[in-house]
A and B are shown apart, each in its own frame.
Chain A
């Protein structure tokens, strides 16, 4: 139905374009008046008025129609005597009603379901009919409005441009909408979570085992049960594991990335640079699931065997393997950013250093790097925020059990791993376990936001210093 409507709107718009163009042309010739815009702009004007209101209406309608129909149907079913205890059962009944309507349901059909299916069909029909009628109403009224304007020889180009500019503005608003969407969706579940679990028990608890809260009705938790629950959602082991793996990653990425950045910026001939820079940047372009596969199937087992030959017990999901591979993934972030930063240190500083007899490396160590330090720190912070938000490597190569340790050979878990573990497969909403994933997401979001803010400030300040 929607496709037919969109098709019809397109056809109308196209024909209105040609109508508007030729009509204004002929009017200007007949009455010998000068048009205030080229004839085609009158066509565009009609097209915009014909299509935009109708399409916006169609979009909004399609978003809300299923939700409204669902509420109505579930209510009528309840009035007719259908019994359901919670939202899930209501959803199930709704799906059944829908399936009966489509003729794809093969279970037992009782009278309530049958009645509801009939009223479902009735409502669908009603909604579709009113949708079509309303859309045509909108098209007709907006086109009449536009035609009137055209007759009065309006400044069609300015009007068209004003509408289009509005369209451009709306598209740029999508970035704000996305941010709002993220904040809303994270907060919505997190607030529910924190209404059950105390924020301080979450932030400072030292034990993370959400599976303990598997089947429990969040709305009616007794004090005893809470004593048990609050111990299940301790954030400390997760942030410890996350920072630990990120720290190992930075141990790899910072020296390698920084030295390659320095070499590229200060030593490498343009030939070497042209060849090696893109290859290092390949590391950033490889999907992280590939690194995860490599870490889990090659590096992890290799470390374990190697450790065994030295008489060490190494977990095959060791923090070391995950951290090492993550570090390699991050090298290009550090190297290309620090390359840029070093390049923007003014040549006069270097020349001054050479003039007093310093060698190149002394100049770099004692003049260039101190001058570029804020920018370098900024790029390292950006890399850290990458590392703590990285998911696939740790999901595949790090452990699943929360484990407070500083032994890199043992397995630890991270925030992102836990989010995936909690949400993969079937979730039951309204359980503190599912909601805890959103609380973790919120924590992660805030942490990366702060890191990015500081990093961007540092880089920006640094840039301003030498601009």
Chain B
């Protein structure tokens, strides 16, 4: 091999090596793209729901309430018969079996939607109005094109007759898409068309709030102590080792801790944002202390010395000068820690947040779910409609995380002073 050939070979190796690096970065970037694209394409349809336009006739005989009935009487009244009688007129059916199939196109909440419409308007007794009734999950998925209709009938959840009705509705322009208010308003449900993240949103909000209230002050005080006051001795070293180790402990271990101490020993109520918040606070604490200490460390000693020189006490120099300067870094570290806590699932599963909770929690001691746990719960469900709901929940979760991270970056760039 001549000298030139060898050099050529070496340069080729150089190019190859560089190429591997580019490929690796591209692989990582590509995966981010695939993941986001996958979630968006599956989830974006969940923000709309399919509705069927039906003419509702409020027959006084079926309703059994008088004109000018009070609101309470209306809420007590039974709208089931009115609903059935009106809904079966959506398509001419021949027998009871066909009627049943027709009724299955509508969500189980049709009755209550009709009642709500009655409450919203005055004097509907004996009158007819056109209402958009939420369709059942199967029709919803069919209309959104997520459900294959060319399978043989016994492998479909929708019968041939229901397909005929569906085509009839499409032809007559009776079926359409509306904004899915249920997705944001409702708690969990066994019916995908009624299931929402309202409960999970509130649960996550309470958990993160409690986590913030507990973790932020303790983390800031602890890092001030360790960075500014702690003497160099064994206790301080031990505390530091502990903090570093705690930051690396798998999150599920915090779930076991909460199960044993918070639930079994102190007997706090299970499945509640209170327990979730405390667990997340314990987990986030070391993860906040580390950036807090870094931002305190970044404040140059001249600031402290300046304050001491004009007669401030050690405390005054720290709290009047160092802490305000370190605050942007502290806050952004806290926000990033909270963002991690918001996406944490495993410890919450262990403290029982996987319970099926329909009601929206009204306080931190009510049983509730949280956004990531809702993702886990729905991803285990078999219904097709839950796939888009899960993806949409992930979209919500990711957008919260993006907002929090941007806020953290913004705080740091806008307010942090550079010292050199």
A59-77 contacts to B, CB under 8 A, are 63, 66-67, 70
> Chain B interface (Cβ within 8 Å of chain A)?
10-11, 13-14, 16-18, 20-25, 27-29, 31-32, 35, 38-39, 217-218, 221-222, 224-226, 229-230, 238-239, 242-246, 248-257, 259-261, 264, 266-267, 282, 285-286, 289, 313-315, 339-340, 342-346, 349-350, 354, 372-373, 375-376, 379, 387, 390-391, 394, 397-398, 401, 405
Given the complex of chains A and B, what is the CA–CA distance between A264 and B264 in angstroms?
49
- Shortest distance in angstroms between B282's beta carbon and chain A's nearest beta carbon? 5
Nearest Cβ on chain A to B203's Cβ, whole angstroms:
15
8 A Cβ contacts from A290-345 to B? 290, 292-294, 296-298, 328, 331-332, 335
Which B residues lie within 8 Å of A56 (CB)?
Answer: none
Determine the main DSSP class of B at the interface with A.
helix
Are B28 and A360 interface neighbours, CB within 8 A? no
Determine the distance from Cα of A258 to Cα of B25 in the docked complex, in whole angstroms. Answer: 10
Once the chains bind, are A392 and B18 in contact (CB under 8 Å)? no
CA distance A315 to B133 in the complex (A): 42
Tally of contact residues, A, Cβ under 8 A: 89
C-alpha gap A262/B229 in the complex (Å): 39
Asked whether B221 lies within 8 Å of A172 as measured between CB atoms, the reply is yes
Q: Is the Cβ of A171 less than 8 Å from the Cβ of B221? A: yes
CB distance from A391 to the nearest CB of B (A): 4
CA distance in complex: A286, B402 (Å): 10
Partner of B246, one of A173, A178, A362, A437: A178
The 0/1 profile, CB within 8 Å of B marked 1, for residues 170-184 of chain A is 011111101101101
Per the 8 Å Cβ criterion, residues 223-270 of A in contact with B are: 255-260, 262-264, 267
- The residue from B252, B257, B354, B375 contacting A416, defined by CB atoms under 8 A apart: B252
Question: Cβ of B249 and Cβ of A174 under 8 Å apart?
Answer: no
Within 8 A of B (CB), among A411-467: 416, 419-420, 423-425, 429, 437-438, 441, 444-445, 448-449, 452, 456
Q: In the bound complex, what is the Cα–Cα distance between A280 and B245 (angstroms)?
A: 25
Q: Which residues of A contact B375 (CB under 8 A)?
A: 289-290, 293
Task: Knowing A178-B282, A182-B249, A289-B343, say if A171 contacts B379 (CB, 8 Å).
Answer: no
Kindly provide the distance from the CB of B380 to the nearest chain A CB, expressed in whole angstroms.
8
Distance, CA A176 to CA B314, complexed state (A)? 26
Query: Is A444's CB under 8 angstroms from B39's CB?
Result: no
What is the CA–CA distance of A395 and B377 in the complex, to the nearest angstrom?
12
Shortest beta-carbon distance, B356 to chain A, in Å?
11
Q: Shortest Cβ distance from A173 into chain B, in angstroms?
A: 7
Q: 3 tightest A-B contacts by CB?
A: A389-B250, A287-B343, A263-B21
A288 within 8 Å of B (CB atoms): yes
Known: A174-B222, A285-B401. A420 touches B349 (CB 8 A): yes
In the assembled complex, 7 residue pairs joining A and B whose CB atoms fall closer than 8 Å, in A order, are A66-B267, A161-B314, A179-B246, A264-B25, A392-B376, A396-B376, A444-B250
How far apart are the CA atoms of A364 and B13 in the complex, in Å? 12
Nearest CB to that of B240 among chain A residues? Answer: A175
Chain A hits for B11, CB < 8 A: 359
- Are B229 and A168 in contact, CB atoms less than 8 angstroms apart? yes
Tell me the bound Cα distance from A396 to B27 in angstroms: 24
Q: Are A285 and B21 in contact (CB under 8 A)?
A: no
Q: Are B225 and A168 in contact (CB under 8 A)?
A: yes
Residues in A61-118 with C-beta less than 8 Å from chain B: 63, 66-67, 70
**Distance of A179 Cα from B286 Cα, bound (Å):** 11
- Shortest Cβ distance from A305 into chain B, in angstroms? 16
Whether A178 contacts B285 in the complex (CB less than 8 A), given A289-B375, A292-B379, A359-B14, comes out as yes
Chain A residues closer than 8 Å to B20, beta-carbon distance: 259
Contact between B252 and A420, CB atoms less than 8 A apart: yes
Q: Which of A267, A283, A286, A390 contacts B18 (CB 8 A)?
A: A267
Q: Is the CB of A287 within 8 A of B17?
A: no
Residues on A with C-beta less than 8 A from B24 are 255-260, 263
A293 to B25, CA, bound (A): 24
Does the CB pair A425–B253 fall under 8 Å?
no
Contact indicator A287/B372 (Cβ below 8 Å): yes
- Check A24 for interface membership: any CB of B closer than 8 A: no
**Residue numbers in B under 8 Å from A332 (CB-CB):** 28
Which single member of A257, A361, A449 contacts B13 (CB below 8 Å)? Answer: A361
- Whether A416 contacts B344 by the Cβ 8 Å rule is no
B376 adjacent to A292 (CB under 8 Å): yes
Contacts known (A280-B29, A396-B376); A262 close to B21, Cβ less than 8 A? yes
Inter-chain pairs besides A67-B267, A292-B376, A392-B376, 16 sampled, C-beta below 8 Å: A165-B315, A172-B230, A259-B20, A259-B21, A263-B21, A263-B22, A282-B32, A283-B32, A287-B397, A290-B394, A328-B28, A359-B13, A365-B17, A388-B250, A423-B255, A448-B248
Q: Is the CB of A391 within 8 A of B252?
A: yes
The interface residues of chain A lying within 8 Å CB-to-CB of B17 are 361, 364-365
Q: Which partner residue on chain A sits nearest B397 by CB separation?
A: A287
Nearest-neighbour CB distance to chain A for B376, whole angstroms, equals 5
Smallest CB-CB separation from B218: which chain A residue? A171
CB atoms of A283 and B31 under 8 A apart? yes
A169 contacts partner chain B, Cβ-Cβ < 8 Å: yes
Is A382's CB within 8 Å of the partner chain B? yes
- Return chain B residues, CB-CB under 8 Å to A349: none
Which of A167, A360, A448 has a CB less than 8 Å from the CB of B14? Answer: A360
Q: How far is the CB of B295 from chain A (nearest CB, A)?
A: 17
A287–B401 alpha-carbon span in the complex (Å): 9
Residues of B within 8 A of A276 (CB): 25, 29
Shortest C-beta distance, B377 to chain A (Å), equals 10
Residue of A158, A293, A298 contacting most chain B CB atoms (<10 Å): A293
Bound: A276/B25 CA distance, A: 8
**A461 to B: closest C-beta gap in Å:** 16
Which one, B217, B256, B286, B349, contacts A441 given CB within 8 A? B256
Question: Quick one: closest B residue to A294, CB to CB?
Answer: B35
Alpha-carbon gap, A286 to B10, bound state (A): 40
CA distance A171 to B28 in the complex (A): 40
Return B374 CB to nearest CB of chain A, in Å.
Answer: 9
- Give the distance to chain A from B261, nearest Cβ to Cβ, in Å: 5
Q: With CB as the reference atom, state the residue of chain B lying closest to A331.
A: B28
User: Which residue of A256, A260, A419 contacts B252 across the interface (Cβ within 8 Å)?
Assistant: A419
Q: Would A175 and B289 count as touching, CB distance under 8 A? A: yes
- Of chain B, the residue at the smallest CB distance from A438 is B256
For A165, what are the chain B residues with a Cβ–Cβ distance below 8 Å? 225, 229, 315
In the complex formed, the residue of A with least CB distance to B11 is A359
- A392–B345 CB distance below 8 A: yes
Task: Give the distance to chain B from A184, nearest Cβ to Cβ, in Å.
Answer: 8
What chain B residues lie within 8 Å of A289 (beta carbons)?
A: 343, 345, 372-373, 375-376
- A185: chain B residues at CB < 8 Å are 256-257, 259-261
How many Å lie between the Cα of A456 and that of B238 in the bound state?
15
Chain A residues with Cβ below 8 Å from B18 are: 263, 267, 361
Q: Does the CB pair A429–B264 fall under 8 Å?
A: yes
Contacts A382-B248, A441-B253, A441-B256; is A168 near B222 (CB within 8 Å)?
A: yes
- Please state if B253 and A168 are interface contacts (CB–CB under 8 Å): no
Q: A289-B372, A290-B397 are in contact. Are A176 and B225 (CB under 8 A)?
A: no
Check if A263 sits within 8 Å of B252, measured CB to CB. no
A288 to B230, CA, bound (A): 36
How far apart are A387's CB and chain B's nearest CB, in angstroms? Answer: 10
A343 to B26, CA, bound (A): 21
- On chain B, the residues within 8 Å of A290 by CB distance are 35, 39, 343, 375, 394, 397-398
CA distance A362 to B17 in the complex (A): 9
A385 sits at the interface (CB 8 A): yes
Given A285-B339, A452-B245, A420-B225 contact (CB < 8 Å): no
